[in-house]
Amino acid sequence: MFQISVIISVYNRFDYLQLVFAGLERQSLLNFEVILADDGSDNQFVDGLNNIIPSLPFHINHIWHEDKGFRKNKILNKAVVAANSDHLVFMDGDCVPHSEFLNEHFKYRKKNICLTGRRVNLSEKITRRLSPGIVKKGYLENQTMHLIFDGLFGKSAYVEKGFYVESKFLRNLLNRKIRGLLGCNFSIYKEDLLQINGFDERYEAPSIGEDSDIQYRLELAGTKIKSLNNIAVQYHLYHKLQERLQVNLDLFNKIKEEKLAFTPYGIKK
């Protein structure tokens, strides 16, 4: 039995996934499986993945469906069903985890609690500097001054979110404020997610459906959100940000009007 099932949503960008894998190889907690929720990546991605899987020190379950547009929530639900652990950690395929990332999510786990961490947004300059070997050597964790400098004078953002804090006093101080759920950095008991029937598959564009909607329905069901700011740390690789689409906002507003925690458009149809 795995302690954690790490569900990573991916769509192409195998070069970024290799950096994420390098971060996972540094984890202090070793008993985990990786489930790739693949929203229709191309043959080049799949071939690259198949070539690297034998060399990885952790178990990979690649769950793929055909590319028919944005169906991230649908493939995430399939990954949830396939998970062999009762505790799920959600990541994106462009977020490199700190070496204590999984350990912290595991230590703070609790029924009816959804944990959410934060991430640094790395600049294009810093992202280009990275390779799997550099990540494995701990560059992102050990070269803090490089990130601070790039945050001040370059284009990295939220660099302060990348400081890993061990002091219990500072952890409590930094997490007094309740923060919103971050879709690329949260964990929850599988049972609690099934209680709301997983992700709503009607969302057909990025944002809201993977985080804001999930948080809203979890809270309706009695699950609380707990922040792991400066505890569960990620480093977000550079790419152009996508705008929230009105169709997602309209659907979310409809769901808030209905006030239903259990979506009929989730895992169970």
Quickly list DSSP for the chain. Answer: --SEEEEEEE-S-HHHHHHHHHHHTT-S---EEEEEEESS--HHHHHHHHHHGGG-SSEEEEEE----S--HHHHHHHHHHH--SSEEEEEETTEEEPTTHHHHHHHT--TTEEEE-EEEE--HHHHHH--HHHHHTTHHHH-HHHHHHHHHHSS-B-GGGG-----HHHHHHHTSS-----TTEEEEEHHHHHHTTSS-TT--SSSSTTTHHHHHHHHHTTPEEEE-TTTSEEEEPP-PPPPPPHHHHHHHHHHHHHT-SS-TTSS--
CB 164 within 8 A of CB 233: yes
For each of the domains in the chain, give its residue range(s) and CATH number, in order of start. Answer: 4-258 (3.90.550.10)
Q: What pLDDT band is residue 43 in, cutting at 50, 70 and 90?
A: very high
Asked if residue 261 has pLDDT above 70, the reply is yes
Burial of 198 from C-beta contacts in 10 A (0-12 / 13-18 / 19+): buried
Q: What is the pTM of this model?
A: 0.96
Give the range among 19-23, 93-97, 235-239 with minimum mean pLDDT.
235-239
Query: Which stretch of 46-50, 64-68, 92-96, 206-210 has the lowest confidence by average pLDDT?
Result: 206-210
Q: Strands 95-97 and 185-189, how do they pair? A: unpaired
pLDDT for 42 beyond 90: yes
Q: What percent of the chain has pLDDT over 90?
A: 89
Query: Does 126 score more than 80 pLDDT?
Result: yes
CA nearest to 202, candidates 210, 194, 191, 190: 210
- Alpha carbon 41 to chain centroid, angstroms: 18
Q: Tell me the pLDDT tens digit for each residue of 80-118.
A: 999 999 999 999 999 999 999 999 999 999 999 999 999
Give me the residue label for tokens 């101080």.
173
pLDDT band of residue 244 (cuts 50, 70, 90) is low
91-118 burial, b for 16+ CB within 10 Å, e for fewer?
bbbbbbbbbbbbbbbbebbeeebbbbbb
Is pLDDT at 137 greater than 80 in this prediction?
Answer: yes
Whether pLDDT at 240 is above 90: no
